Amino acid sequence: MTKKIVSGNEAVAYAALRSGVNVITGYPGTPSSEVIGSLMKMGKIEGTKIEWSTNEKVAVEIAATAAWAGKRSLCTMKMSGLNVAYDSLIGIAFSGCIGGMVIYVCDDPGVTTGMCEQDTRGFALMSDMVMLDPKSVQESYDFIKYAFELSEEIQYPVFVRSVTNVAQSHSSVDIEERVMPNLDAPVVKKDINKYAKAGAVMCMNQHRELIDGLQKAAAILEKKGINKLALAGAKGGIGLITTGVCNGYIDEALDIAAEYGCKIDNLSTLRVSASVPYPVKEIQDLLRHCAIVVVVEENDPYIEREAYVQAHTIGVNTKIIGKLDKTLSRVGSFSAIHAAKALCKACNVELPAEAIEYGKEAAAKCTARPITCCAGCPHRGTYMAINKAVKNAKYKKEEVIVTGDIGCTILGMNPPFNTVWMEISMGASIPCAHGFVYAGVDKPVIATIGDSTFFHGGMPGLINAIQHNMNMTAIIMDNGWTAMTGMQVNPNTAHEFQVEGCKNVDLVNVVKGMGVDNLFVVDPYNLAETTAALDQALALPGLKVIVARRECAIQANRRKVKYALITVDYDKCNSCKSCINTTGCPAITLGENGIIIDPKQCNGCGLCAQTCNKSAIVREVI
């Protein structure tokens, strides 16, 4: 055993190795990406297949069939990815598994990494699947190991749900030696009653068995004592229910509450670490013992609602404080101060505003960090070209709808481009443009999507647009990587960067194979070429696809690739800031004598030189 300082995600990776996992799949998505990312940095791991799948649905299907063959599998994703995987996952839940199968999903209360503030506990409830909620990095490690054991005992997949404040935090963890996976020949049994859904009787039998499996899990979890109930003092006191990361806030919350006059000597607590199935017995025991019960959980009030149900079931009038009485918000991440606020209400003490809004003054003094494209980002050239082509076509900027998608491409919504109007989910940009055309929008409609997002969820939308010959332009911004989540490979990544044994799937060939008639392939570093392609696309009827192809600047910079040397001719520079205002490049700042280009950030893309009407910026190819 070795003690290491690791993140919550790294702890999950080590726990998977300790558990002898055969197959690990997933799709990149902050805050969960580092699980597979850290494993891939370890090099080839004997007996374990690890892959970044095309999307989460594909990932969970691979993991499921590996488990059906008697092997242990782990599937990782962020909360939004579960939406994609769920179509298959609910069917997988009904069929169960043979080898242990664990789905590790990370929620993001407080929206640290973007997307909707989603509570995946609802998915576990809807599919009758066990869900464990670690409060810490150490518990992340421990719960993954236990989840595999529990999955094999009940013969059903198990969720382990983390949140950003656990997945991305670091702590010292006791890491055990790796256990080699089961390398015996797979045993796959043909059993259509278990693995197929072709018939009402078959499906209902699977449903009954799934419910039985969840009830079995409830008994196992109760016996194990994974949900920690501690009744204090005589009856009639205050109780506190916490879940997941909030389980770690109790002691600090008591100290904060005491500081403001709410001193609770005998607090009864229920720390919920398995949120599905609900710990019914423990909730009932706490409700019987206490006159007031405070419930502190991030996002949706699932446990709180169950507390109301159980209070009604056992006929007690225990007062419940939480989200449903508006004491706590259903929005944002929680800390000890939120638990203290609810405890103070139980004591009829009002926490002062300055306590609740701690850190507000410090936050106000922080330097603003604009969300913009990195220096040398090829997407910058694409958005500059869109704006220029719209102007060339004599349209006002507000007349041309540009739909966006998930990933770096969405940065086009921010200054200085202000180009993208909206986004929904992975791959939605093309169907959104399709819908605007159907709605009767008579000006050009442009969809923008990245290469990884295109393979993840964009292909069906483009096929649909091709079939219906939509009058729109789709721009696939191909930087060769799944960049925003940490530079993971995707099917389109160049062959030399693919994992050993894999090949790349060329995006342009895929688009050609779909039957696109008007296809343009451009280099977004060449502003004139990209603008000309857009000029032509906006003038043509029907569907047009532009592939703007240039590697992500960060990845190129890591390999010390520099395309050109950019210098400033200060005799010509008049400090008009046109280059700054048009490109928004963070490598360009304004000095006393004119603009300054930071050579450490600049990769020589030359977009600034192409926008300077004084020819004051010189690009010299190296």
Task: List, as residue ranges, the binding site for [4Fe-4S] cluster.
Answer: 573, 576, 579, 585, 602, 605, 608, 612
Torsion sign (Cα): 335, 339, 340, 342: positive
524 CB-near residues (< 8 Å, 6+ apart) = 378, 379, 380, 381, 382, 385, 477, 530, 548, 549, 550
Question: What is the per-residue DSSP string for 584-619?
Answer: --TTEEE-SSSEEE-TTT-----HHHHH-TT--EEE
- The total of other beta-carbon atoms located within 10 Å of residue 234's CB is 8
Question: What is the per-residue DSSP string for 348-385?
Answer: T-PPPHHHHTTTHHHHHHSPP----PPTT-HHHHHHHH
450 DSSP β-pair partners: 477
- What are the structure tokens assigned to 21, written together? 């996992």
Return the HEC string of 208-268. HHHHHHHHHHHHHHHHHCCCEEECCCCCCEEEEEEEHHHHHHHHHHHHHHHHCCCCCCCCE
Q: Say if CB 434 and CB 465 are below 8 A apart.
A: yes
Question: β-pairing, 130-132 with 158-163?
Answer: parallel
| Residues of each annotated binding site | 573, 576, 579, 585, 602, 605, 608, 612
Burial of 101 (0-12, 13-18, 19+ CB in 10 A): buried
Q: Nearest to residue 328, comparing CAs of 355, 290, 298?
A: 298
Residue whose tokens read 């997949």: 157
* CA 253 to mean position of chain CA atoms: 29
Angle between helical axes of 429-438 and 459-467 (0-180°, round to 10)? 30
